[in-house]
Amino acid sequence: MDTKKHMTMRIFIVVVILCISIVYTSFTNEMSIIEVFSEKKELPIYSVNTKEKKVAISFDAAWGDEYTNEILDILDKYEIKTTFFLVGFWVDKYPEKVKEIHERGHDIGNHSTTHPYMSKLSEEQILKELDKTGNKIEKLVGEEPILFRPPFGDYNDRLIKVCRENNYYAIQWDVDSLDWKELGVQPVVDRVSRNVQNGSIVLFHNNAKYVSEYLPLVIEKLQEEGYEIVPISQLIYKEDYYMDNTGRQHKKKD
């Protein structure tokens, strides 16, 4: 009886080991196939890896101009330069404001022509969105924009590829102020100061309800913490860089 039990146990152990071996082999083979055929996902720049205490704040402008003058005056008061991403129909409606933003020393980035979901567009449609607004901006300020922020933060590999091939750096953000939710002044200040780090890119909107109230507080808080606020064009690396899987841009080592 004992002999039969031992034999049964041995057979059971052998079967279990065999099953485990089959599952493991199948899994490793599947992973190998995935690694061979999958491509690395293209990413925009969410933030920059730097030891310097530098951050960039940015404003998306698509609808309205009610607070833009106040924003520019506040930035002048604190002697800060930032980045404005402009949609084509905003450029059409406020051409003099586009010129003023540029004349006051701020970056002007491209934010598309019609504010679409870029991942739903073909390469030809993406290029049209880039070119139409890029040409409008260049005509007004004499400089071709090199920064592009996709509306809604929506992108795919195709968009990043088209941007790169047309001399644009695709820019996202790693700190979203959520100012568009109109939660009040202090929630914006707290959210930004809590999440910012070296190399952060902060997202604001030029027509957010409380922007003229929270902006001075955010600037003062960042400066108190030792951060220098710079335009995105001065924060990012223009060459010899690579992206990690979080969208953080790194300088290649020599």
The structure tokens listed for 168 are 């644009």
Catalytic residue list contains 60 = yes
Q: Which residues of 86-115 are buried (b: 16+ CB within 10 A; e: fewer)?
A: bbbbbbeebeebbeebbeeebbbbbbbbeb
Q: Which of 172, 158, 146 is nearest to 243 (CA)?
A: 172
Q: How far apart are CA 83 and CA 179, in angstroms?
A: 17
Catalytic residue list contains 76 = no
Distances (CA, A) of 139 to 99, 206, 241, 245, 252: 10, 22, 31, 37, 35
Catalytic one of 176, 205, 250, 254: 205
Catalytic one of 60, 107, 174, 179: 60
Measured N-to-C along each axis, helices 211-224 and 68-77 cross at an angle, to the nearest 10 degrees, of 20
Tokens 């933030």 locate to 47
The structure tokens listed for 124 are 């030809």
Residues with active-site annotation: 60, 205
